[in-house]
Amino acid sequence: MKIQRQRLVEKLKQYHFELRHVLVLFVIFVAVQVLVSFVQKISLQAFLVDTQDSYQKDSAERVANLTATSLELLLEAAPHVLARDGEGPKKIIEAFNIILSQQLLLQHVDEVCVLVSIRDQIFAVDNGRVLYEYFFANLNQLPQPDLPHESAIALYRDRRTQMMTAEQVWSILEGRQTFHVFVPFVPKGEYAGAVYIKNSPDFSFITKEIIAGFNESSLIFTGLMLFGLLAMFYVSSYTVRERDEAQQLLFKERENQLEERIHHLKETMFAKRIYHTHHKAEKVMGFIKEDLIKISEDNIEEIKYRVTKYANFISRVIYDMKWYEPPIQAIRNAIFKTDLNEVIQFIIHNICLRNTRLSDLYNFALDLDPNLPVVHINEFVVWEILEPLFQNSMDHNVDGQVTITVKTQYCQDRHESKIIISDNGKGIIPELLTANEHGVKRIFLESVSTKSGGQNTGYGCYIANEIATERCGWQLDVENLPDGGCRFTIVVAHSTNSEN
């Protein structure tokens, strides 16, 4: 035993591991820890400042863009409101005032106005009545705004030509955090001026909180390391290295999974846009060309009505390409008063039956309830729901004559309307009617198609279900009929206010 002790002492002596070595390691570790903490703090602070500047600009532009979009949508819907409601001007003025004053309630918004011009003279409008009279009364002179906007007018005058040419959002930074944002105001596709918002977002408190938390964490971490330094000498370096390697492999695998998921989402988004533009817009543009060729004095009013509907739908398709997730007010809004029966009739007669070569194969039977209330959904959003369902019955029953029955009914006791689309064709494959763990049937899932082959299939029913359930709050279901064929049922819930 004594011999073994002596051997151990001799081995330790050859390393000359004394207390001064521990002290040197201790000092080196503390210096390195302080240096690393300082460098990390500087890097983190620089990153947070850059992120804050970028986010402040994005936040200011989003607020201004949303205001301009709301005003443009209101102006597009104004003719329908004026035609249907005797108090239309009052409602439109109130809506203008709400949009212009709503942004001023935000703590960081200092100034909001609409910049318009009359005979090369620029005016600032921050009052709903003045804005209404400018667009609908053809004023030659505008009154003074409620608040002075000299700086906005001066900045806009210098950049007016560039904005008219490029039609892009223009942001001017004043100081550290004050943004002058100009958004092109283009109601009905015509440049009318700019929406101006002076925005001073301040997120510096977030930076201060993060830096303070980082300082506290660094101090606590350094203290713990100082007290645990001696214990760390006994930790196996091999174990630590294995842990780091395993963690690196885990991070690498997670990174690969995220890359695959992002790639899949991008492909899905691209496919959806291709479906909207190529499959629908191209067909509708062909109808427009046909109508323009056939126009005459006898049918000019009919063609004018039809082409207007087509053009508005093309505008909606382009808008969907611009906004993958459009604002909710562009889909559901009290301004929209859509007649479901009218939309159904237009789609059937002017979309589904426009192809004379195939129209003899299909017979549409309509049973429309005249008591059906209007819905506060954009007409062309309803179009995007119904047209794929009609097309589904037509695409899968081309072998023989098929009757497609479209029925609407209003259940007053339950405050809901139903749209029932049924046919006497082949029906749907039973496998596509099975529901997943979330209760969604396979026919409504992404990339699941009832067609055989085709790289752009599998989106019609998916898009109809997504828009109906997620964006409009409706219910959509499908089932096979006992005597053959299938039946789509859309349930539209009405609020008591919408019926009055």
**Residue range 48-204 in CATH 3.30.450:** yes
Rounded to whole angstroms, how far apart are CA atoms 215 and 220? 9
- Locate the domains of the chain by residue range: 48-204, 326-499
277 or 288: which carries more pLDDT confidence? 288
Tell me if the pTM is above 0.75.
Answer: no
Residue with tokens 């804005």: 131
Give the integer Cα–Cα distance in Å for 304 and 146: 42
Q: Please, is 380 exposed, middle or buried when counting C-beta atoms within 10 Å of its C-beta (0-12, 13-18, 19+)?
A: buried
The pLDDT score that the predictor gives to residue 427 is 85
**If pLDDT is split at 50, 70 and 90, which confidence band does 344 have?**
very high
Cα–Cα dist 13/406, whole Å: 97
pLDDT of 18-56, one tens digit each? 555 556 767 777 777 778 777 877 777 777 767 766 777
Cα dihedral 459→463→466→471 (10° resolution): 160
Provide the pLDDT for residue 500: 44
Largest pairwise CA distance in the chain: 122
| Cα within 13 Å of Cα(49), Cβ side | 7
- Could you tell me which of 143, 57, 63 has the C-alpha nearest to residue 107? 63
Instruction: Give the pLDDT score at 477.
Output: 93
- Interval 357-383 mean pLDDT: 84
3-state SS record for 144-180: CCCCCCHHHHHHHHHHHHHHHHHCCCEEEEECCCEEE
Asked if 45 and 218 touch (Cβ cutoff 8 Å), the reply is no
The answer to whether residue 418 scores a pLDDT higher than 90 is: yes
* pLDDT tens per residue across span 171-224: 888 877 788 889 888 887 788 889 898 888 776 667 777 777 777 777 777 777
pLDDT at 448 over 80: no
- Nearest to 474, CA basis, from 431, 416, 433: 416
Q: What is the mean pLDDT of residues 433-438?
A: 86
Superfamily of domain 326-499: Histidine kinase-like ATPase, C-terminal domain (3.30.565.10)
State the pLDDT at residue 456: 44
Provide the strand spans (E) within 271-377.
362-367
Extract the runs of DSSP E, i.e. beta strands, from 275-347.
Answer: none
Lowest mean pLDDT among 126-140, 199-213, 342-356, 370-384: 199-213
